[in-house]
C-alpha cells in the first residue's frame, strides 16, 4: 500500500511541476524573443494539461526504470524537468535560457557534492573543459552551434564525467542524424535554417542518466 501511495505522490508532484514548467517556459519565451504566444485560455489550459501528463508520466517511467523511488530516481526526475524547459524554450526561440542553465548547474553541483568521489573529481573537471572546447569549435567556424549550446554541453559534461558524456553525445548525434535524414526526405528543413540543439542534447543526457547512473 505504501509502495502504491509513493507512486501516486510521484505522479501528483510530477504533474504539478509539469504545469509549472509550462508557464515558466512561456515566461522565458516571452522575455527572450518576440515570439507570438497563443492568447486563448483554452489553448493554454490544453497545453498545461499536456505538460502535466507528460512530466507526470515521465517521472513515473523514470521510477519504474530505476526500480523504485530512490535518490537516484529523484535526481533524474529533477534534471529531466529542468531539461524539458531548456529544450522547449530553445525549440521555440533557438536560444538556451541562461537562468535555466544556472538552475541546472546548481542542481548538478548539489548532486555531485552529495555523491562526492575524490577519485573522479578531476575527470569531471576534464570533461567540463572537453565539452566546452568540443562545442565551441563549430561556433568559432561560424556553424550552427551557439554559446547557449556550449554552456549547456559544458554543464552536462561536468555532471556526467568524460566517458558518460561521450555516450550522451553519441546518442545525441545518432538522433540528429536520423532527424536530418527524415527532414531531408520530406523536405521539411533547410540546411542553413536555425536549428535547436538543446532538445537532442537533453535526450542524450537523460538517456545516459537512466541507464548508467546508479
pLDDT score of 164: 92
Q: Within 10 A of 3 (CB to CB), how many other CB atoms are there?
A: 8
Long-range pairs, 169-176, Cβ under 8 A, ≥24: 169/134, 169/204, 170/204, 171/203, 171/204, 171/207, 171/208, 172/200, 172/201, 172/203, 172/204, 175/200, 175/203, 175/204, 176/200
Ordered by start, the domain boundaries in the chain are 2-212
Task: Yes or no: say if 165 and 199 are a contact pair by the CB < 8 Å rule.
Answer: no
Task: Yes or no: say if 40 and 85 are a contact pair by the CB < 8 Å rule.
Answer: no
Euclidean distance between CA atoms 16 and 11, whole angstroms: 9
> Does the predicted TM-score (pTM) go above 0.75?
yes
Ranges of H-type helices in 34-160: 41-65, 71-93, 98-114, 118-140, 147-160
Which of 152, 115, 110, 122 has its CA nearest to residue 135? 152
Per-residue pLDDT of the chain (214 residues; tens, 9 = 90+): 555 678 889 999 999 999 999 999 999 998 887 666 667 788 888 999 999 999 999 999 999 998 888 889 999 999 999 999 999 999 999 899 999 999 999 999 999 888 877 677 778 888 888 888 888 876 665 555 678 899 999 999 999 988 999 999 999 999 989 988 887 777 655 555 667 899 999 999 999 999 887 6
Task: Yes or no: say if 172 and 203 are a contact pair by the CB < 8 Å rule.
Answer: yes
Q: Within 10 A of 17 (CB to CB), how many other CB atoms are there?
A: 22
| Helix 198-212 × helix 147-160 angle, to 10° | 0
pLDDT score of 68: 83
Amino acid at each position: 500500500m505504501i509502495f502504491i501511495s509513493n507512486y501516486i505522490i510521484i505522479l501528483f508532484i510530477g504533474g504539478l511541476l509539469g504545469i509549472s514548467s509550462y508557464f515558466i517556459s512561456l515566461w522565458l519565451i516571452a522575455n527572450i524573443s518576440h515570439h507570438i504566444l497563443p492568447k486563448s485560455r483554452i489553448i493554454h489550459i490544453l497545453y498545461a494539461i499536456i505538460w502535466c501528463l507528460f512530466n507526470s508520466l515521465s517521472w513515473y517511467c523514470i521510477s519504474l526504470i530505476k526500480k523504485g523511488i530512490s535518490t537516484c530516481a529523484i535526481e533524474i526526475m529533477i534534471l529531466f524537468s529542468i531539461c524539458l524547459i531548456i529544450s522547449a524554450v530553445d525549440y521555440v526561440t533557438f536560444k538556451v535560457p541562461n537562468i535555466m542553465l544556472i538552475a541546472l548547474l546548481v542542481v548538478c553541483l548539489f548532486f555531485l557534492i552529495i555523491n562526492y568521489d575524490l577519485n573522479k573529481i578531476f575527470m569531471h573537471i576534464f570533461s567540463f573543459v572537453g565539452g566546452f572546447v568540443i562545442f565551441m569549435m563549430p561556433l568559432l567556424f561560424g556553424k550552427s552551434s551557439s554559446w547557449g549550446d556550449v554552456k549547456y554541453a559544458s554543464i552536462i559534461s561536468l555532471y556526467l564525467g568524460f566517458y558518460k558524456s561521450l555516450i550522451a553525445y553519441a546518442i545525441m548525434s545518432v538522433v540528429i542524424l536520423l532527424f536530418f535524414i527524415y527532414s531531408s526526405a520530406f523536405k521539411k528543413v533547410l540546411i542553413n535554417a536555425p536549428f535547436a540543439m538543446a532538445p537532442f542534447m537533453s535526450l542524450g543526457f537523460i538517456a545516459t542518466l537512466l541507464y548508467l547512473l546508479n
